[in-house]
A and B are shown apart, each in its own frame.
Chain A
Amino acid sequence: MGCTNTELVERYVAAVKFWLPEKLREDIGAELAEDIRSEIDEAEKAKGRPLGEDEVAAILKARGNPMAVAARYQPQRHLIGPELFPLYIFVLKIVAVICLIPPVLAWISHIAIDHDAPVANLFASPINSLLTAFAVVTIVFAVIEHKGIDISKKTEWNPKTLRPVADKNRIPRSESIGEIIGALIGIGIYTAGYLSQTTYHFPGGGSITVAPEWIPFWQIVIGLAVAEIALSAIHLFKPYWSGLRVLARLLINLAKAAAFCWLAQSHVVRSVDGLPDQIAGQFILISDKVAQYAAIFFVFVFIGIIANALARLIRTIALHRQAA
């Protein structure tokens, strides 16, 4: 059923008013109605005849959806404003890392104990904790925004207190010195003979016997420690990554990971003597579980090492290109 032009305009204005705050409704509605009527009057004057229903409908359609028209009258609203937004995203990233570590560790240990658990349940826990944490952070930031609390300390801001620019291609000397000290301690323990035996006695009585792979494993690790000392010594004098040094670090890290994987798979605890059966059984059980899941775990370690080396290499190449 058709309706009069006046009715059409009234309906349109009422639809716009519906989306407006109550205190603005009458004022904006009256002005909008007047503007539409003026437009219709002018069109009728130009055509020399009254407009038809379709023509009025076309005028209203050109003005836009009532909800969109009402939205233009409202102030710009945001849950978290542009000043707080970078900090909000930064906090979300930190929270994501913090929230994901415990559930993922729990998830891995859960599979190790009960690998028949339904997959959906295993994924649900980390996702739930992440979503909850995100919701809490968002609410806190929304409250800060709404209350206008100044957490940026703009007035106390001092350029002199800004952190120095970090050169991502530079290897900190403290890192090289730390690596050298660590490797020297390992070599010291090895040369003292603590790592060249397969049976260890507990101070309170009892002993543990480890797999025969224990001895060659430490020989490999000590060999790699020597290589690491050489590489770290070079880094002390030339503290910047180069393609060759990235490759050397990659090979050392991969070799170390492979050695640890090999040891973990060897069922490292072979027997425990002189301790209660329950405790001895726990040692063997843990050793067996480590052997069972070592391959899966070290696949992730290898991926991490390679990804880290690739990122370092890409950065190094980019910096060399910039310098050229």
Chain B
Amino acid sequence: MWSTQTQSQYENLRLELRRGSLVLAVLGALRREQYGYTLRKMLEEAGLPVDEGTLYPLLRRLESQGLLESQWREEDKRKKRFYRLTSAGSEIFARLIAEYRSIGEAIANLHS
């Protein structure tokens, strides 16, 4: 059984690890246009649940960095904000995913 301190250390490190990966997951998911709620559901189904208080500020940040673009449109009689990757975002995503894979490989090599 873990002590409270160990549990809290684990949680902090886990969150730190997830924070970086989440950017990658969001960029990857938005290669196809999505609105906020469906994006959240998609991430959750893929095994990466994220609360809206984390996701929406992240979307805003990525948009202000020019990696995403958004558009308000009506769907099912409701106005929704749709997000998609920009061309700069696609380029950066491709490079980041390659980096992510090489990190994964390096860690796997260290453990083998």
Check: B36 CB closer than 8 A to any chain A CB: yes
Interface size class of A (residues with CB under 8 A): 10 to 19
Is the beta-carbon distance between B53 and A38 smaller than 8 angstroms? no
Closest CB in chain B relative to A209 CB, distance in Å: 69
Is the beta-carbon distance between B57 and A31 smaller than 8 angstroms? no
Is the beta-carbon distance between B54 and A38 smaller than 8 angstroms? no
Chain B residues within 8 Å of A42, by CB: 41
Is the beta-carbon distance between B78 and A34 smaller than 8 angstroms? yes
- Of A32, A35, A69, which is in contact with the most chain B CB atoms at under 10 Å from its CB? A35
Chain B residues within 8 Å of A69, by CB: 53
Is the beta-carbon distance between A34 and B52 smaller than 8 angstroms? no
Is the beta-carbon distance between B54 and A72 smaller than 8 angstroms? yes
Is the beta-carbon distance between A32 and B56 smaller than 8 angstroms? yes
Check: B37 CB closer than 8 A to any chain A CB: yes
A-B contact count (CB 8 A): 40
Is the beta-carbon distance between B53 and A31 smaller than 8 angstroms? no
Bound CA–CA A39/B78 (angstroms): 14
Is the beta-carbon distance between A72 and B57 smaller than 8 angstroms? yes
Is the beta-carbon distance between B53 and A35 smaller than 8 angstroms? no
Is the beta-carbon distance between B57 and A32 smaller than 8 angstroms? no
Can you name 16 A-B pairs with beta carbons within 8 Å? Answer: A28-B56, A30-B79, A30-B81, A32-B52, A32-B56, A34-B35, A34-B78, A34-B81, A35-B37, A38-B36, A38-B37, A63-B53, A64-B53, A69-B53, A72-B57, A73-B56
Residues of A in contact with B (beta carbons under 8 Å apart): 28, 30-32, 34-35, 37-39, 42, 63-64, 68-69, 72-73
